[in-house]
Amino acid sequence: MSELTNELFGVVPIVPTPFTENEEIDENALRNLIDFAIAGGIKAVCLPAYASEFYKLTDEEKLQVVRVAVEHAAGRIKIVAQSNHPSLKVAIRLAQANVAAGADVVSLAVPRIFSLPESSLKQYLSEFLQSIPNTPVLIQDFNPGGASISVEFIKELMDENPNFKYLKLEEPLCAPKFESIIKATKGKVGLFEGWGGLYMLELVPIGIQGVMPGLAVADILQRVFDLRRNGEDGKAFDLFEKVMPQIFFSLQNMELFHYAEKELLIARGVLSNSIARKAAYIPDASSVSYIKELNQRVIDVLNDETYAIRPVAEAV
């Protein structure tokens, strides 16, 4: 278990849940994904989140993937254990089990199934944080129906809960809000951008601590992140523009993302299938062809020495 310091930095990708032909969790494939992240220079991964199909897993399976990841990582990479559930009681039980399993950080999505006032969300998040006081917590907020949690809310939550260390927001045009959060919290809450890393070039200069994209392009986006932070803006934009079409297309639908992400991991020699649990996206022939084309363009970038990213053969 980590000390209560802001240890997460850079790209923290979401690990997809690999399945066998009969839709059972493929533990060996999951171990391969952890090895792939480590080989790509990634320092921390998160699972099981939305991009891991967590909403199709039982609570026992959610804990299973965390245990496998922790055991296989063996301290080589930090494990962020997602503990989402609309029931506070169940979320706490899952979080405490993840801590006992050895997770370094616990992550939680703000419950957004139905609209709730901030007072209700404050009670939910505060009690969750207090249930694992010695473990750093990353709070994620994606609110399709409106704004994410307010700056004042974030500041109060931080003041009352020392283990609230990270915040991931997923919304467009959020640079002014990110700047306000950094100012209000004096940088004590590390900010992460989600949504596939799509807005990272806008937000790196603001002072975000990292991004949380899919695993298949994590090593590329880590390179983009480093270039942008180091002021090599032209190189950062050039590299990002090479992979942005794949990211943008896949994010049109979360189930489409699962398919495109796993197909890219197949192309990179990490997974053997792109199975998602049903109900799953069934791509039409045009989409299958276009995703293959987009993924091949990503592979071409990996094989281009201009960008100083290891070729596919060296990534696993």
Report the percent of the chain where pLDDT is more than 70: 96
Query: What is the per-residue pLDDT for 6?
Result: 55
The domains located in the chain, with CATH, are 10-232 (3.20.20.70)
Query: What is the per-residue pLDDT for 172?
Result: 82
Query: What is the per-residue pLDDT for 310?
Result: 60
Output the CA–CA distances (angstroms, integers) from residue 17 to 12, 46, 55, 68, 294, in the order listed: 16, 11, 11, 11, 22
* Phi, psi angle pair for 107, to nearest 5°: -115, 150
315 pLDDT exceeds 50?
Answer: no
37 pLDDT exceeds 80?
Answer: yes
33 pLDDT exceeds 60?
Answer: yes
Q: For residue range 154-212, what is the model confidence (pLDDT) as tens digits? A: 999 999 999 999 999 988 888 999 999 999 999 999 999 999 999 999 999 999 999 99
Mean pLDDT of 11-15: 98
Mean pLDDT of 104-122: 95
Q: What is the pTM of this model?
A: 0.94
CB 156 within 8 A of CB 117: no
Mean pLDDT of 99-125: 96
Q: How many contiguous H segments (helices) and E segments (strands) does the chain have? A: 12, 8
Q: Any known ligand binding at 254?
A: no
Whose CA is closest to 53, among 254, 307, 196? 254
243 pLDDT exceeds 50?
Answer: yes
113 pLDDT exceeds 60?
Answer: yes
CA 79/CA 105 separation, integer angstroms: 7
Under the banding of pLDDT at 50, 70 and 90, the label for residue 4 is very low
Query: What is the per-residue pLDDT for 314?
Result: 43
CA 170/CA 174 separation, integer angstroms: 9
Whose CA is closest to 247, among 195, 306, 204? 195
Torsion of CA 122, 160, 7, 211, to 10 degrees: 30
Mean predicted lDDT score pLDDT of the chain: 94
